[in-house]
């Protein structure tokens, strides 16, 4: 076991895409964790399939490395505010944070989010200005911006006196001054050893360990991960599990693991200051304390911010239900959601009046869409509704809704259309800056206004715009917002789409499906050019005749369809529509599939 004075526990926090996971890769190489000829994939800590595909960190993960006789326990955290629940928990495990900031962009909105949490816990940041080799990099300016940010967030004098390291994680070097010459990350390791305090606590005190992360193994079942605050823990000994409600259970530790690089190493014993994973406790949950069996005492748990977005998860009741997925019953969906609750602490699941639907609340659209994507990959079929914000009521009876801080980065040419659409969504501009021909705009906007905006924004800016948002506060309800401007094209029957019919429908709007796509009555097949919905026949074939005429044998030419990803579909639909999610298909449909029934329900709602 490593002595307490030689342990350094720290978390890496940053805005998305500022290089956290790449920096962990560089630290592995700098500490010679791998053989010279060992093949190691990029972003080694992003082990989840969705993390690799999306290029973001979703789950907080723990690793450990040795350098210069010291043991560094490092936690890689997500940058998206949607996964802030992961960040808030793991900060209680560490004694300092590496705040990674892009040398060109400076601190961005989600840097603000995670830094506020770290400062509130009294952690002193070590600032790493990353990507100093990037063209147009402004490392000294970025350092000044970090200082301004910490003042804004109410940092103490000690926190404002932060050490700063300039680095290029991709190239694998770090330096204390931009004029220094460096070929490795030793200056960063030295800074961590000097400025990150070693863990407090006593190995001889009664055992206390707070569970902050969860994992699952098919061989040993539930695994709880956390930092031992006091005492020692051994394989085979009996410990007390102090639940959140104060009840106490006795359990036996069957397996104990330490972290080494990308692997878990079995060990017989661990003591205060170490971050470990243990098995043998079936009903373990995040926020519970593993304590000494003779004198159990609970540790304080950091409360997680409440969810702001809610959606309905429903059993797929469409005509194609069960044709694609393995799990379609409400019982299966409920079990899967309950399993998710064990480790996804920012999620909330509630039953509704219907046994076939569940109200699921989370931090944002991305938070919930990652869960939906995981479920469809596991073989689930379900229907989900449009995301809606969670409203609160204050003591005076006023309705309050969540607001977001939005940062938009666009070329100057797209300023007019962006301002117009943000104005339509009740956004208020806070400030504007021109940085090298690109505008950086800051807005306060109701969270409702962002639902469905990102697709529109990317189209308006031809894919050149960047948008980042962060939950700000609950404020006065802004009233009705402008919804989707266009209606949709709806299939009139169960059929297979024909190219000739789709070609003729192009003048009616934008098509979403390919020829040969199986459709059903009530399924959305395109966007209407006008405001109303239109029921169309996508199976209308070309009439055959024995007469030859000019143009009758022309080839069918179809514009490529506008296909939607899961996030785009969730943003696109309106309140009377659903997204049908199966392992191989994402379809949009009306809640009421039958055309006549839909018209009746519309008349009733108008009345």
Rounded CA separation 91/230 (Å)? 17
- Residue 53: band (very low, low, confident or very high) from pLDDT cuts 50, 70, 90: low
Is the separation of the CB atoms in 328 and 375 below 8 Å? Answer: no
Q: Check whether 79 has a pLDDT greater than 80.
A: no
> Using CA of residue 383, residue 460, residue 111, residue 59, what is the dihedral sign?
positive
Known binding residue 590? Answer is: no
- Residue 488: band (very low, low, confident or very high) from pLDDT cuts 50, 70, 90: very high
Residue among 226, 240, 107, 248 nearest 164 (CA): 107
**In the predicted model, what is the mean pLDDT of residues 303-322?**
85
Known binding residue 90? Answer is: no
Known binding residue 133? Answer is: yes
User: Which residues 6+ apart lie within 8 Å of 244 measured at CB?
Assistant: 285, 287, 288, 301
Number of helices followed by number of strands (H, E) in the chain: 15, 35
- Residue 363: band (very low, low, confident or very high) from pLDDT cuts 50, 70, 90: confident
- Looking up tokens 């004075």, which residue turns up? 5
Is the separation of the CB atoms in 115 and 77 below 8 Å? Answer: no
Rounded CA separation 364/457 (Å)? 18
Cα separations in angstroms, 574 against 261, 328, 365, 483, 589: 47, 24, 15, 8, 10
Known binding residue 57? Answer is: no
Is the separation of the CB atoms in 169 and 132 below 8 Å? Answer: no
* Strand 96-102 to 124-130 pairing: parallel
pLDDT of residue 88: 67
- Residue 518: band (very low, low, confident or very high) from pLDDT cuts 50, 70, 90: very high
Rounded CA separation 411/464 (Å)? 7
Q: Check whether 49 has a pLDDT greater than 70.
A: no
Q: What is the pLDDT of residues 198-225, one digit of tens each?
A: 888 888 888 888 888 777 777 777 788 8
Is the separation of the CB atoms in 93 and 227 below 8 Å? Answer: yes
Q: Check whether 39 has a pLDDT greater than 50.
A: no
Q: Which residues of 273-285 are buried (b: 16+ CB within 10 A; e: fewer)?
A: bbbbbbbbbeebb
pLDDT of residue 525: 93
Residues paired with residue 168 on neighbouring β-strands, in sequence order = 173
Helical spans, DSSP H, in 137-275:
139-152, 157-160, 186-195
Q: Say what percent of the chain tops pLDDT 70.
A: 88
Known binding residue 444? Answer is: no
Known binding residue 389? Answer is: no
> Using CA of residue 281, residue 285, residue 290, residue 296, what is the dihedral sign?
negative
Known binding residue 215? Answer is: no
User: What are the structure tokens assigned to 459, written together?
Assistant: 């189209």
Q: Check whether 372 has a pLDDT greater than 80.
A: yes
Element (H, E) at 183: none
Mean pLDDT of the chain: 82
Helical spans, DSSP H, in 393-536:
415-424, 447-450, 453-460, 499-505
pLDDT of residue 364: 78
Q: Check whether 138 has a pLDDT greater than 60.
A: yes
Rounded CA separation 327/147 (Å)? 51
- Residue 82: band (very low, low, confident or very high) from pLDDT cuts 50, 70, 90: low
> Using CA of residue 245, residue 247, residue 248, residue 251, what is the dihedral sign?
negative
Rounded CA separation 273/8 (Å)? 8
Q: Say what percent of the chain tops pLDDT 90.
A: 12
pLDDT of residue 382: 92
Q: Check whether 466 has a pLDDT greater than 50.
A: yes
Residues paired with residue 125 on neighbouring β-strands, in sequence order = 97
CA atoms within 13 A on the CB side of 296: 19
Q: Check whether 524 has a pLDDT greater than 90.
A: yes
Higher pLDDT, 453 or 497: 497
pLDDT of residue 395: 83
Rounded CA separation 60/75 (Å)? 7
Beta strands per DSSP E along 253-387: 255-260, 263-266, 269-271, 275-279, 289-292, 309-314, 348-351, 357-362, 382-385
Rg (CA), the chain: 27
Q: Check whether 383 has a pLDDT greater than 60.
A: yes
Known binding residue 132? Answer is: yes
* Strand 488-491 to 534-536 pairing: parallel
Is the separation of the CB atoms in 267 and 274 below 8 Å? Answer: no
Residue among 311, 229, 237 nearest 268 (CA): 237
User: Which residues 6+ apart lie within 8 Å of 126 measured at CB?
Assistant: 10, 96, 97, 98, 99, 162, 163, 165, 191, 192, 195, 196
Q: What is the pLDDT of residues 263-296, one digit of tens each?
A: 778 888 888 888 888 888 877 877 788 888 888 8
Q: Is 331 helix (H, G, I), strand (E, B) or coil?
A: helix
Domains of the chain: 4-195 (3.40.50.300), 208-292 (2.40.30.10), 393-476 (3.30.70.240)
**In the predicted model, what is the mean pLDDT of residues 104-125?**
80
Is the separation of the CB atoms in 99 and 3 below 8 Å? Answer: no
Write out the DSSP string of 550-592.
Answer: TTTTPPP--PPP----HHHHHHH--TTEEEEE-SS-EEEEESS
Least trusted range by pLDDT, from 38-42, 286-290, 358-362, 493-497: 38-42
pLDDT of residue 545: 65
Known binding residue 194? Answer is: no
Least trusted range by pLDDT, from 10-19, 168-177, 243-252, 595-604: 10-19
Helical spans, DSSP H, in 8-99:
20-30, 49-54, 84-90
CA 516 to chain centre: 35
Q: Check whether 46 has a pLDDT greater than 50.
A: no
Element (H, E) at 605: helix 595-606
Is the separation of the CB atoms in 298 and 248 below 8 Å? Answer: no
Known binding residue 18? Answer is: yes
Is the separation of the CB atoms in 540 and 500 below 8 Å? Answer: yes
- Looking up tokens 């305090």, which residue turns up? 197
Is the separation of the CB atoms in 325 and 332 below 8 Å? Answer: no
Tally Cβ neighbours within 10 Å of residue 58: 19
Higher pLDDT, 498 or 32: 498
**Angle (deg, nearest 10), helices 365-377 and 330-341:** 120
**In the predicted model, what is the mean pLDDT of residues 148-169?**
88
pLDDT of residue 43: 44
């Amino acid at each position: 076991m490593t002595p307490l004075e030689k342990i350094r526990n720290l978390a890496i926090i940053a805005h998305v895409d500022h290089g956290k996971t790449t920096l962990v890769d560089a630290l592995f190489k700098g500490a010679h964790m791998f053989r010279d000829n060992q093949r190691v994939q990029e972003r080694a800590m992003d082990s989840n399939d969705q993390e690799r595909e999306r290029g973001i960190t979703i789950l907080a993960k723990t690793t450990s490395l040795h350098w210069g006789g010291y043991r560094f326990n490092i936690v890689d955290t997500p940058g998206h505010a949607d996964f802030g629940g992961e960040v808030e928990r793991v900060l209680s495990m560490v004694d300092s944070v590496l705040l990674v900031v892009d040398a060109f962009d400076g601190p961005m909105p989600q840097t603000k989010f995670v830094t506020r949490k770290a400062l509130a816990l009294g952690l002193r940041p070590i600032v790493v200005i990353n990507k100093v080799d990037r063209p147009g990099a402004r490392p000294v300016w970025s350092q000044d911006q970090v200082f301004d940010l910490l003042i804004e967030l109410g940092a103490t004098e000690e926190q404002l006196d932060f050490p700063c390291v300039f680095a290029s994680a991709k190239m694998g070097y770090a330096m204390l001054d931009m004029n220094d010459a460096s070929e490795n990350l030793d200056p960063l390791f030295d800074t961590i050893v000097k400025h990150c305090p070693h863990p407090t606590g006593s190995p001889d005190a009664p055992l206390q360990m707070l569970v902050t992360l969860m994992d699952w193994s098919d061989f040993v079942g539930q695994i709880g991960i956390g930092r031992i605050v006091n005492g020692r823990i051994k394989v085979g000994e009996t410990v007390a599990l102090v639940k959140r409600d104060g009840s106490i259970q006795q359990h036996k530790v069957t397996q104990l693991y330490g972290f080494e690089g990308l692997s878990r190493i079995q060990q017989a014993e661990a003591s205060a200051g170490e971050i470990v994973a243990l098995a043998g406790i079936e009903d373990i949950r995040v926020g519970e304390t593993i304590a000494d069996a003779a004198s159990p005492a609970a540790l304080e748990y950091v409360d997680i911010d409440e969810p702001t977005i809610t959606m309905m998860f429903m059993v797929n009741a469409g005509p194609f239900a069960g044709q694609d997925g393995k799990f379609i019953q409400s019982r299966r969906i409920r079990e899967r959601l309950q399993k998710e609750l064990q480790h996804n602490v920012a999620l909330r699941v509630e039953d509704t009046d219907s046994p076939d639907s569940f109200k699921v609340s989370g931090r944002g659209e991305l938070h919930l869409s990652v869960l939906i994507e995981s479920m469809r990959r596991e073989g689930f079929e379900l229907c989900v509704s449009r995301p809606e914000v969670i409203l609160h009521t204050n003591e005076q009876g006023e309705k309050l809704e969540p607001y977001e801080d939005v940062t938009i980065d666009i070329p100057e040419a797209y300023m007019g259309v962006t301002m117009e659409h943000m104005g339509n969504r009740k956004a208020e501009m806070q400030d504007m800056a021109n940085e090298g021909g690109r505008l950086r705009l800051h807005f306060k906007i109701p969270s409702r206004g962002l639902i469905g905006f990102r697709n529109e924004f990317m189209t308006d800016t031809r894919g050149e715009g960047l948008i980042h948002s962060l939950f700000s506060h609950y404020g006065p309800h802004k009233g009705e917002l402008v919804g989707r401007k266009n209606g949709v094209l709806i299939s009139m029957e169960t059929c297979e789409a024909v190219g000739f019919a789709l070609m003729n429908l192009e003048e009616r709007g934008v098509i979403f499906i390919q020829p040969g796509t199986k459709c059903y009555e009530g399924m959305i097949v395109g966007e209407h050019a006008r405001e109303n919905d239109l029921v169309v026949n996508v199976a209308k074939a070309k009439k055959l005749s024995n007469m030859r005429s000019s143009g009758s044998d022309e080839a069918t030419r179809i514009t490529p369809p506008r296909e939607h990803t899961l996030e785009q579909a969730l943003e696109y639909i309106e309140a009377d529509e659903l997204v049908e999610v199966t392992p191989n298909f994402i379809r949009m449909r009306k809640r009421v599939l039958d055309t006549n029934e839909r018209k009746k329900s519309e008349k009733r709602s108008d009345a």
